[in-house]
């Protein structure tokens, strides 16, 4: 056990000396990886904050029911009451716009006033406006209710105002897929950076490695410092990436709060939780160590 600890302590010290021995190269690689890692961290923070924002927006999809011209105001009110009871869980409100109030509103608009003056009577029907309650599946609920209401007696036409919900859901889904692809690209960049760094290091010490191998050093003993070097690079770069992300979120929070204030909301971009950050850091260190092992295996022939 003591021998195993001594070997790993030696490999760790060798890795530290190699990183400190070439500070410019080491810092360059660390900052390249850190900047690359900061992008998905910031993207995750924005995406995680945008999802609750979408549900908090004070705009709900509406279903507009245009009744037949034969329907009177009492029938429209009775239908509104029936729909409130039938869809009590799905609807936030159901209000009636009478044909007279709609006609008066249009007459007050100069664009429509001349056209309406040529008509002998009010051609508008009574209208019901159904506002849906907050739900994570508003678009699906709105489509289902709209299809059912098309069969409702006395309803001439149903207009569904939920396109913005479907667009928002599609946009969030697209952002999630883009974030996954971005994370994969980050892994590729980490592997490429560590691979090339360790490759150059191994080639520069090829003769030293060959001598060590001749005097009995095992392949594991020779490779171990390179693995520690890759893992340390990933760990340090992850820490720098978290610090950069925290700094970047400060101006982003100010800009987002100005936008949210227009909707009377308050939103705060926040970093991933500590467990997720630690897990991501461990994965990055593991990927970097594996990239280092792959590189030293291909660059030296024992």
pLDDT in the model for residue 290: 85
- Residues of the chain with confidence (pLDDT) below 50: 58, 302
Distances in Å between the Cα of 233 and the Cα atoms of 172, 198, 241 are: 33, 11, 12
The reported pLDDT for the residue numbered 54 is 54
Each residue's pLDDT tens digit, 132-176: 887 767 777 878 888 888 888 888 888 876 566 566 667 777 777
End-of-domain residue from the set 145, 161, 177: 161
Q: Rounded to an integer, what distance in angstroms lies between the CA atom of residue 105 and that of residue 108?
A: 5
User: Do 232 and 263 sit in the same domain of this protein?
Assistant: yes
* 179 touches 42 (CB < 8 A): no
Q: What is the pLDDT of residue 58?
A: 45
Residue 148 sits in a domain whose CATH number is 3.30.70.3040
Return the pLDDT at 243: 92
Lookup: tokens for 189: 């960049």
If asked whether residues 67 and 180 sit together in one domain, one would say: no
Same domain? For 274 and 228 the reply is yes
Take residue 170 and report the two structure tokens written for it.
């599609």
> What is the predicted pLDDT for the residue at 44?
81
For 144, the domain range is: 62-161
**Are 208 and 89 contained in the same domain?**
no
In a 3-state reduction of DSSP, which class is residue 94? strand
Output the CA torsion sign for 12, 14, 17, 18.
negative
Helix and strand totals (H; E) in the chain: 10, 4
Same-domain check for residues 199 and 248 = yes
Specify the pLDDT at position 52: 59
CB contact at 8 A, 106 and 116: yes
Six-digit token string for 279: 């897990």
3-state secondary structure of 54: helix
Count of domains forming the chain: 2
| Contacts of 9-16 spanning 24+ positions with Cβ under 8 A | 10/225, 11/221, 11/224, 11/225, 11/227, 11/228, 12/225, 12/228, 14/225, 14/228, 15/225, 15/226, 15/228, 15/229, 15/232, 16/232
């Amino acid at each position: 056990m003591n021998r195993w600890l001594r070997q790993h302590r030696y490999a760790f010290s060798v890795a530290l000396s190699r990183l400190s021995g070439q500070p410019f190269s080491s810092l360059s690689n660390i900052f390249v990886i850190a900047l690359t890692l900061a992008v998905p961290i910031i993207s995750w923070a924005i995406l995680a904050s945008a999802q609750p924002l979408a549900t908090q927006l004070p705009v709900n999809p509406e279903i507009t029911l245009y009744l037949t011209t034969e329907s009177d105001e009492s029938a429209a009110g009775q239908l509104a009451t029936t729909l409130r009871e039938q869809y009590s869980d799905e609807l936030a409100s159901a209000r009636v716009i009478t044909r007279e109030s709609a006609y008066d509103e249009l007459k007050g608009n100069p664009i429509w006033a001349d056209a309406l003056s040529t008509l002998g009577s009010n051609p508008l029907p009574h209208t019901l406006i159904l506002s849906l309650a907050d739900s994570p599946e508003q678009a699906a609920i709105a489509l289902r209710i709209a299809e059912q209401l098309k069969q409702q007696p006395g309803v001439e036409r149903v207009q569904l105002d939920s396109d913005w919900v479907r667009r928002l859901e599609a946009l969030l889904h697209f952002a999630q897929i883009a974030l996954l692809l971005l994370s994969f690209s980050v892994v590729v960049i980490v592997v490429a950076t560590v691979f090339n760094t360790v490759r150059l290091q191994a080639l520069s010490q090829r003769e030293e490695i060959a001598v060590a191998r001749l005097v009995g050093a095992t392949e594991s003993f020779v490779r171990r410092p390179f693995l520690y070097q890759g893992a340390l690079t990933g760990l340090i770069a992850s820490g720098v990436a978290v610090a950069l992300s925290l700094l970047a979120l400060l101006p982003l929070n100010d800009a987002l709060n100005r936008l949210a204030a227009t909707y009377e909301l308050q939103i705060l971009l926040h970093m991933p939780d500590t467990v997720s950050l630690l897990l991501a850091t461990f994965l990055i260190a593991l990927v970097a160590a594996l990239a280092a092992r792959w590189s030293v295996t291909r660059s030296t022939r024992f």
